[in-house]
Structure 1
Amino acid sequence: MFAPAWVKDAIFYQIFPDRFCRSERYHAVGKFVEWGSKPTRENMFGGNLAGIEDKLEYIAGLGVNAIYLCPIFKSNSNHRYHTVDYFEIDPVLGTMEDFDRLVKKAHKLKLRVILDGVFNHCSRGFFQFNSLMELGQNSPYVDWFHVKGWPLNAYTDKPNYECWWNFPALPKFNTNCPDVREYLFSVGEFWMRRGIDGWRLDVPNEINDDSFWQEFRRRVKKVNPDAYIVGEIWDAPERWLQGDQFDGVMNYVFRKAVMQYLFDENSISTEEFCKRLREAFPEGRGDMPMNLLGSHDTTRLKSQPCASWERIRLALTLMFFMPGAPCIYYGEELGMKGGKDPDNRRSVPWSKLPEMQRELVYGLVKELTELRNKNAVLRDGKLEIVCDGDSFSVVRTLGRKKMTLAVSFTEDQPTFEIK
């Protein structure tokens, strides 16, 4: 096993900072929409680090022990995947002191913290790219990006430089440039020294260079050998899981199988579903995946086609029964709804918390975190998937201890028991 030992015991909680909580303890300069407004791709709600800090006891109370924060660096977008400065906290979110206090309090509550690293691309406001816009070919940073013509067409639908999915607001780094590599590696080191416990890497497959991620791993692990490095990989992940790049990936292979089987009118058979589960958790690979059902990129469980309490209950139980670290998308435990981006990024209605905690899903998440935290077999046990017609079982075995999730369907709704 090349992944850090703590990850097998981890239960992550993913936070989208702009929409999680806005504390009055920090006042950002600017104008923000009213909390609870309809989310758009552009509007800013003003969630902040102080708000996250205020809710750490709530998060720990769920039975969670790790937090994954979507980007928190200086940016001019509500999601902050357009980075302006990788060494500064976004002023809407707070200050470096706020960040330090958040990490310190999280660690005191035994909550680890990993940050989102967006190293494939930056924003037009990134200083070095702005230099190209101002100085053209005379910029000292001319080699930092993939420029195809001058002057830069930075505000048209036909950019003449490489960018993420051809969005001109997201210029792609030239990671073959030694200065770029050193800059990005130093970002990884800087925040590790600041006390974080690892990195979630955004679209790392688009930096199509194993040596980049191998060096990133060496530099990060030199600061903290127990750092968790997890990549956002949507397809077969084997290339990045040889022990020299990532410790795991966001397990979209698992998520896709669950969505197709439970929420897409059973578009795949039970036999095919079991096959997909085995593929998502191959024996002996040595990694530790982050298992998820929802994220800032996906429709929420309650807004899925064919969503029902029985299907949601089974989906969540499956996630907690699997090897790796379960990850709960913020508000999922409260039964929040949300369609495709940006609707899946609604603000948490904290004023309705007591009412939402009475939702069935909140009690279920608490039961599942307790079940996993109390049973080492769910964290360390060997996995076996047994298929029998339209029924199947997930079996975890550790020494003489065995736990089984037995699943069948009754009148097109799943039923299950844990034995």
Structure 2
Amino acid sequence: MDSALSQAAAARLRPVGPLHMPPPAQPLNAVIELSLTGSTSQPEVHLVDSRRNLSWRALMTAAGDRTWHATIRLPAAPTIVTYHFEFADAPPLLEQRQYEGETTPHYGEWFTRPFQIAVYDPARMPADWTQGMVIYQIFPDRFANGEPGNDRLTHGVYGHPPIFKSWGELPEAPPLGRDFFGGDLRGVIAKLDYLVNLGVECLYFNPIFAAPTNHRYEAIDFMQIEPMLGDDAVFDQLIAEAHARGIRVILDAVFNHCSADSVYYQAAQSSRESPYYRWFSFTQWPHNAVGWAGFGFMPEFVECPEMEHYFNGPAGVTAHWLRRGIDGWRADVAPDNSDAFWRGFRLAAESVRPDAYLVAEHWVDSSHYLLGDTFSAAMNYRFTWAVRGFLVLGRLTPSEFDDRLMTWLRDTPPPARHAQMNLLSSHDTDRLLTLCGGDRRKFQQAMAFMLAYVGAPTIYYGDETGLEGSGPEDGRRTMPWDALDAELGAFFKAAIALRRGSPALRTGEVETVVIDDAERAYVFARRAAASVVYAAFNASDADTEIEIVLNEGTTDWRVVLGQAVISAADDQLTVMLPARGFPWLARP
């Protein structure tokens, strides 16, 4: 976590006024010390339990020259505690944070808000099997075609004629969701050994339930597999064969809305006496209801008890597919359902699979979801924008980059950090290699960072072979099975094998050991008992030399991934880093 080096960098980025470094997330009922430096007047802490909307105050006591302390007991139930400092002779002190962006990244912007501490339930943290695992995301229509006979079983796409494209053609632009390439579940089954060889441990599928469009983010029926992808028998075979190879499976939970062609919406349109009428907010029955993001073909659900029972009841959608063998869910547009709905979702999942992996799609600070009673993890776009900003776009200095990472780590309960879904590309972004302008050095450097850092690294299908795309839809190209990139494939296999074989890389603690803004160099250590790995990164286009102070002795260090020239003496490792270098250093 925060090393003295990281704390010094954070202080440099916040040069004005008193300084307070917030503690990391804490377990229920913890007693903590808050400290503040740089104030001549006695501060008072104003704290708020955000879930209970309850506030209280604590006066700080002197602990040295312009230094103040306060002992605080945290609540006994999961919550986010926010707080700020008040002074008799100065404005209140709030936290200064970098504005990271939401669905698009932002750099060079700061804002203030109250400090926060996530208070989590340590008994309900992510399962051991999720810790540090390697995830692979599959967009089903574009991964592999194993059953050509189902390629044209389309429902129709809201009045648009479907387009059936040949494998390898580009997606339709502008997109209408009507171009189909024939990928299906049997195709995934045929490629499971490829995924095993790559080192994948968990598959995340974009939606597979019956739906009109190629992305299937508006289901017709949540209890039916899309016929163009397969049927119940093929699904069962996929689960059985994936599990036999040690691969877990999670599905997409699009529980905020459905298709205007769905059985639910059509029943609501047929009669106001239908039990489904109450599931929707009609602005003009029977034709117009509130749609997700304003899209009329995606009517949003009202969280009435009947709707909640359908999804989260004992025989509901959540429990049904877990009983069918899946290992978890990724919740689409999580903030567009209520927190209460997702806590019910968690209870429904735990009733079948206490160790289910539940991931929220949330593009910003997700700590309120990670307290033990809602989700296991979030899609970590905060990580995405940070790595892209430093290693690809050159928009962050090493100090700013480290500050973002340390802020994310503080926000996240320590037992949940290794389960967070870290990613660099997804179905909702451009492809990383395209963002890199085709520069494979930048691309491999960013991937090497993700595969060495804390979390569950997630590979978007095709990234391991250099698939490109300038935006979300353009990035949903078909997997080039006849032209796989052997060099990139070898890099991914080597990095993943090293990660899976190293306790330090899989679940070790992290410490920043070099922050060099002038040379654009950054180094962190991963440690788990005797297992230690240093990962070094040169984000410049010139060679540079860095020095790492060692805690483990100077003998037998070697480069296990990437390239560098190293020498050791006097408890110090000197590393000659090539331009865009990314060596991992370890001992046998």
1:36-88 deviations in whole A, cap 9, x for unaligned? 12212321112111111000001111011111111000000000101000000
| Number of the residue aligned with 2:195 | 59
> Relative to total residues, which structure has the larger helix share, 1 or 2?
1
1:142 match: 277
For the residue of structure 2 that corresponds to 1:172, the secondary structure is: coil
Match of 1:246 in 2: 375
Q: Aligned-pair distance for 1:296?
A: 0.7
Contact 1:13–1:328 under 8 Å retained in 2 = yes
Q: 1:275 — aligned with what? A: 403
Which of 142, 151, 157 aligns to 1:19? It is 142
- Shift, 1:410, TM fit: 4.3
- Residue in structure 1 matching 2:475, options 344, 353, 364: 344
**CA drift at 1:320:** 0.9
SS in 1 for 2:126: coil
Q: Answer yes or no: is the 8 Å Cα contact 1:334–1:362 preserved in 2.
A: yes
Change (3 A) 1:320 1:305: closer
Answer yes or no: is the 8 Å Cα contact 1:263–1:304 preserved in 2. yes
Alpha carbons 1:291, 1:324 under 8 Å: kept: yes
State the partner residue of 2:100. Answer: none
Could you list the per-position Cα deviations for residues 282-332 of structure 1 after superposition, in whole angstroms to 9, with x for gaps in the alignment? 364432201111111111111105452221111111111122211110011
Contact 1:129 1:141 (8 Å CA) reproduced: yes
Count of residues in Structure 1 that have an aligned counterpart in Structure 2: 404
Is contact 1:278-1:385 (8 Å) kept? no
The equivalent position to 2:528 in structure 1, one of 383, 398, 417, is 398
Q: What is the distance in 2 between the residues matched to 1:308 and 1:35? A: 26
After TM superposition, give the deviation of residue 248 of structure 1 in Å: 0.6
Report the residue type matching 1:221 in the other structure.
E
Are 1:80 and 2:213 counterparts? no
Kindly indicate whether residue 450 of structure 2 is the aligned counterpart of residue 314 of structure 1.
Answer: no
Point out where structure 2 has 5 or more consecutive residues left out of the alignment.
1-121, 154-162, 543-578
Q: 5+ residue gaps in structure 1?
A: 154-160
Name the structure 1 match of 2:298: 170
1:235 to 2:371 alignment: no
Q: In structure 1, what is the Cα distance between the partners aligned to 2:307 and 2:454?
A: 36
Letter in 1 for 2:248: R
The alignment status of 1:286 with 2:415, answered yes or no, reads yes
1:146–1:174 CA contact under 8 A, matched in 2:
yes
Any conservation in 1 of the 2:150–2:229 contact (CA below 8 Å)? no
Q: Please provide the CA RMSD for this pair.
A: 1.7
Is the Cα contact below 8 Å between 2:389 and 2:396 reproduced in 1?
yes
C-alpha distance in structure 2 between counterparts of 1:192 and 1:18, whole Å: 23
What TM-score results when the alignment is normalised by the length of structure 2? 0.67
Single out whichever of 252-261 and 401-410 deviates more from structure 2: 401-410
Correspondent of 1:415 among 574, 581, 587: 581
Which residue of 3, 7, 10 corresponds with 2:133?
10
Paired position in structure 2 for 1:50: 186
Aligned mates of 1:312, 1:280 — CA distance in 2: 23
Query: Counterpart of 1:365 in structure 2: which amino acid?
Result: F
User: Does the alignment pair 1:180 with 2:295?
Assistant: no
Match of 2:268 in 1: 132
Name the CA distance, whole Å, in 2 between partners of 1:100 and 1:289. Answer: 27
Match of 1:158 in 2: none
CA displacement, residues 359-382 of structure 1 (integer Å, 9 cap, x when unaligned)? x32111101110111101111211
Return the letter of the residue paired with 1:21.
A
Letter in 1 for 2:281: H
- 1:35 aligns with 167
Aligned counterparts of 1:298 and 1:233: Cα–Cα separation in 2: 14
Please say if residues 290 and 327 of structure 1, whose CA atoms lie closer than 8 Å, have aligned partners that are also in contact.
yes
Letter in 2 for 1:119: F
Q: Determine whether 1:329 maps to 2:329.
A: no
Correspondence for 2:491 among 357, 360, 364: 364
Q: Distance in 1 between matches of 2:436 and 2:508?
A: 33
Runs of 4+ more than 4 Å apart: none
- The change in CA–CA distance for 1:181 and 1:391 in structure 2 (over 3 A counts) is same
The 2-side partners of 1:279 and 1:312 are apart by 25
- 1:8–1:323 contact (8 Å) kept in structure 2: no
CA deviations 1:249-305 (Å, max 9, x no partner) are 1110000111122222x1121110111122233364432201111111111111105
Question: For 2:217, what is the secondary structure of its paired residue?
Answer: coil
* CA displacement at 1:214 relative to structure 2: 1.1
| Residue 335 (structure 1) shift | 0.7
Contact 2:436–2:443 at 8 Å: present in 1 too?
no
Secondary structure at 1:343's aligned position in 2? coil
SS in 1 for 2:355: coil
Larger Rg: 2
Question: Structure 2 vs 1, CA of residues 98 and 259 (structure 1 numbering), >3 Å: closer, same or farther?
Answer: same
SS at match of 2:210: strand
What is the rounded CA distance, in whole Å, between the counterparts of 1:151 and 1:411 in structure 2? 61
- Shift of residue 29 of structure 1? 4.6
**Structure 1 81/409 Cα, relative in aligned 2: closer, same or farther at 3 Å?**
closer
Secondary structure of the residue aligned to 1:397 is strand
The residue identity in structure 2 corresponding to 1:418 is W
Q: Say which SS state the counterpart of residue 291 (structure 1) adopts.
A: strand
**Local SS of the residue matching 1:326:** strand
Matched, 1:201 2:362: no
Q: Is the 8 A contact 1:36 1:346 kept in 2?
A: yes
Is it true that 1:300 corresponds to 2:431 in the alignment? Answer: yes
Between the aligned partners of 2:222 and 2:516, the Cα distance in structure 1 is 51
The percent of aligned pairs where both chains have the same amino acid is: 37
- Tell me whether 270-279 or 281-290 shows the greater mean CA deviation: 281-290
Say which of 236, 247, 250 aligns to 1:111: 247
> Does the CA-based 8 Å contact 2:148-2:182 persist in structure 1?
no
SS in 2 for 1:129: helix
